[in-house]
A and B are shown apart, each in its own frame.
Chain A
Amino acid sequence: MQILQLVISGIAQGCIYGLIALGFVLIYKATETVSFAQGELMMLGAFCGLVLMTLLGFPYWLAVPSAIVAMALFGAVAERLIIRPILGQPAFAMVMLTIGVGYVVRGLVTMIPVIGTETHTLPVPYKDAVLRLGGLVLNVEQMVVIGVTAMLCLVLFALFRYSKVGIAMQASSQNQLAAYYMGIPVKLVFSLIWAISAGVAAIAGVLLAPVSLIDTNLGFIGLKAFAAAVLGGFGSIPGSLVGGLTIGLIEMFSGAYLPHGVKDVAAYVVLLVVLAIRPQGMFGTVGRKKV
């Protein structure tokens, strides 16, 4: 029974990693760059939800969509102002730029008087609710995380696989110039993908908030999500979810059965091993070098 409980906690934690990894993967899929600001965007999303609920007094069902929309807008604006000017420069510039954006976001949130320097909980309606199923005690917060993640993954997967927009995104990822010549509004596609990615980050933040506490260091979870994204194979939506779940489970079990301290680094060890043995991850495609 304890194992089953661990599995469920692991899956719930893994879903969060999967959701943040999804943010990386979306941006990677559409622009072939990696955003290091995803964790900070999630933190910002959680704070956004917090401010809407506690300061402005929005009810939960209104606060969450507003936070997601606000973050999506933020993502689009950030893309337009900061990311687009360096389009066409080496991938490294993008890495540094997103690191910088993450720093600025963390700095700005810390600077909000009163709120920024303290830890908070998000007052969700299903707080501390428990579902009993036979001998199993299910935490509703974790169930919500799992359910929403599964749904979101399905929707995004379908979007990329079947919709015209999704195919346009894939095309602009493979060759920006060729996609542009084919009549795909590449710039708009990029704005859209940043908006979606920031929205997903906001969802992750709002979901994580009841399970964990909100403070400005929440963004460091983004580092573990890297492990999830790499494990699943960067650029695969189901991969990010499976990778996230695997990392979550490994973490839970190593926390329960292995010596102290292993839990914190298990994700990174997995990441290094995967990169050394199978760099394309579980679901990635093998690229061939063309000269």
Chain B
Amino acid sequence: MRFVFKTSYAQDLGLFRDPVQRNWYAGLFLAALGLPLLVPAYLPDLSLVFIYGLCGLSLMVLAGYTGLVSLGHAAFLGIGAYTHVYVVQDLGLPWILGLVLAALLSAAVSMLVGVPALRMTGVYLTIATLAFALIIQEVFTQWDRVTGGLKGKPVDKPVIFGISFAKDTAFFFLCLAFLILGLWLTSNLLRSPTGRAWVSIRDSEIAAQSMGVNLAAYKTLAFAYSAGLMGVAGALFSHKIGFLAPDIFSVLLSIQFLLMVVVGGLGSLHGAVFGAVFVAMLPVGISQARDAVPALFSQPFAVLGKPVVNAVFLVLDRFVKQPGLEPGIFGLILVLVILFEPLGIYGRWAKLKLYFSIFPLYKRATFRRQRAYMRSERLR
């Protein structure tokens, strides 16, 4: 177990806790830079991981740090994506301006829905954002002069200041740069007074208010910042998928974002990234399993003869090619995580780290959470 003794203010203000931590992150950064050489086949998936990382970051600020759970973030992603594509392709403005406008418009719309939403608490807010997302999706469908409607809208490859990012490798680095920028900005914001105010709102609104935190202002700010990040992610996402259609930005995508922050671990930026890796790579894993599982699991039956192997192969093959398998697995993982590891992947990681750093002294009780048997919200 290491203790960090802080001897100067500069040390306290630094982004990293100590040189050891800084070196670890530097190593991680180098590893990320090396990925195109190591796994060139997976580059498109990795770009998606980074874009989802931005989305996770956005929802983490709102749900994990401010305690406002939104089921409508796909709408902000959509607003960002459509704004960006409209500004860049239809109006012919520079790429970077499209990105900025995407973030700004997304944030503005979020304030529109956020201000009435401030009167609501808990589940009501979740339902309101859900309704909002469904309305926005219909707007995407009907407003076909701008969005292309149900026919969809093809998206060109990004060209920034005359440099083309059409290649997978280039786009990979673009997404990585935006993710790191987002992480840096957010982690700095979270240790500023703003971030502390958000956390205090999450932990107890009443306590926060009594300490002089302006609830309405900080909640709106959290909403706007989160939606702005989502707008940036949307701009990148539009290039990633190459074709915009209203049904991409459905409730199911919003649920996937929420799944991301829950599985990653609420209340940590690491969790947002872990969740993004998980959600973006799971479909890749499932599609690979689709090819591998039937052959692999029919092999042990070889002792029973060829026909048995073939029969098992066919049954397994039909099973893994079922269309409902993927949402089913997503749901199952969500249920299992909430039941057995409410702190998510990051929680597991923190436990492992603590286990090794205080080796023989680890106690399970360290992470046990107190249960609060609910009292009526109506009486609170």
Contact = CB atoms under 8 A, between A and B. Distances in A.
Interface string A254-291: 00000011001101110110011001000001011111
B354 interface: no
B339 A111 contact: no
Per DSSP, chain B at the interface is helix
Interface string B335-372: 10011001000000000000000000000000001011
B332 interface: yes
Nearest to B339: A85
Interface string A220-244: 1001001100100011000000000
A120 to B, nearest CB: 16
A134 interface: no
B69 A110 contact: no
A103 B334 contact: yes
A268 B134 contact: yes
Chain B contact patch, size range: 35 or more
Per DSSP, chain A at the interface is helix
Contacts of A216: 324
Contacts of A92: 63, 69, 122
Interface string B309-325: 00000000011001111
B324 A109 contact: yes
A212 interface: no
Interface stretch (B103-111, B124-132, B272-280): B124-132
A112 to B, nearest CB: 9
Nearest to A34: B123
B325 A111 contact: yes
Contacts of B371: 87-89
Interface centre among B123, B131, B318, B378, by most A CB within 10 Å? B131
Interface stretch (B38-46, B84-92, B135-143, B226-234): B135-143
10 contacts: A33-B123, A89-B369, A96-B258, A101-B335, A108-B328, A175-B373, A264-B138, A269-B131, A275-B119, A279-B119
The 7 closest A-B pairs by CB, nearest first: A107-B328, A103-B331, A110-B324, A88-B371, A100-B334, A276-B116, A268-B131
Interface of B: 63, 69, 113, 116-117, 119-120, 122-124, 126-128, 130-132, 134-135, 138, 141-142, 206, 251, 255, 258-259, 262, 318-319, 322-335, 338-339, 342, 369, 371-380
Interface of A: 31-34, 82, 85-93, 95-97, 99-111, 113, 116-117, 173-177, 216, 220, 223, 226-227, 230, 234-235, 260-261, 264-265, 267-269, 271-272, 275-276, 279, 285, 287-291
